[in-house]
Amino acid sequence: MVDFTNPDAWTWMKNIIKDNMVKEGRGAGWMHDFGEYAPFDAVYFDGSDPVIYHNKYPEDWAAVVKEALDEVVDGEDIVYFMRAGTGKSPKNTRLYWMGDQLTTLDHYDGLQSAMIGLLNGGVSGATIGHSDIGGYTSIIEEDFGITFLKYVRSKETLQRWIEMNTFSDPIQRSHPSNIPEAQHQIYDDDDTVLFFKKFVEIHVKLADYKLNLMKEAEEKGSPFTRSLMMHFPDDPHARRSDSEFMLGENILVAPIFLKDAVERDVYLPGPAEWTHLWDG
């Protein structure tokens, strides 16, 4: 952890970003990870209270990279994405992601929790976010040859995540997980490759629509992924919904969050007229 209350440490980190990440890396961006682990017993250069500075740390962690990119050629085209933040972080953060979900479908820490995180983050100022396609955290606990705890990504979970992220996120970014060899991966069979290809093509077709939503996020603070209540504030069910979302004001999305399910009930908020995207 770098002590950002020390001006020399701030400059040192900024130069690492400019020299290693931008000049040497030549990348379009990176995962600007962590920021949430500032210790409560730290002794800071400027004497800051470590308990108070703990919540400011992720704001500075974002600010140092924003300042570095302001000082390099074409720095505005580089996308760094973070998971840690405070109320003031969005001004220095270009993209969020929802952290490390389990490789499951559920609302506790799986696919549905990523959707809930996007909605809650969106109304809290973190307007542009996404999640790891397929989730990240896999667990296989064994003792004496007995498996007593197992969270492993299935093909179904991966495909459901691909579906949702196509309509919920500004970017498509998969993750092999922390135990790659145990998970179903996009490249594991032709069927999954073609499935991913289909939804990448939909993502590309939505480019103009998504760019307009990003512009709205910048100009108005409107979230990219929206709760139904944003556009239907007088609809009591829309205010309670935690299994559907809006991509802008024109697309309503109802993902599947149950294992082996091939259909679900969808609530259509109103007043509005709706047309099914696939069959008209």
Catalytic residues: 33, 36, 100
Bridge-partner residues for 137, per DSSP?
102
Do residues 138 and 177 make contact, with C-beta atoms less than 8 angstroms apart? yes
Do residues 200 and 172 make contact, with C-beta atoms less than 8 angstroms apart? yes
* CA-based nearest residue to 242, from 57, 118, 89: 118
CA distance 268 to 274: 8
Query: What stretches of 41-111 adopt beta strand conformation (E)?
Result: 79-82, 95-97
Do residues 32 and 80 make contact, with C-beta atoms less than 8 angstroms apart? yes
Do residues 228 and 235 make contact, with C-beta atoms less than 8 angstroms apart? yes
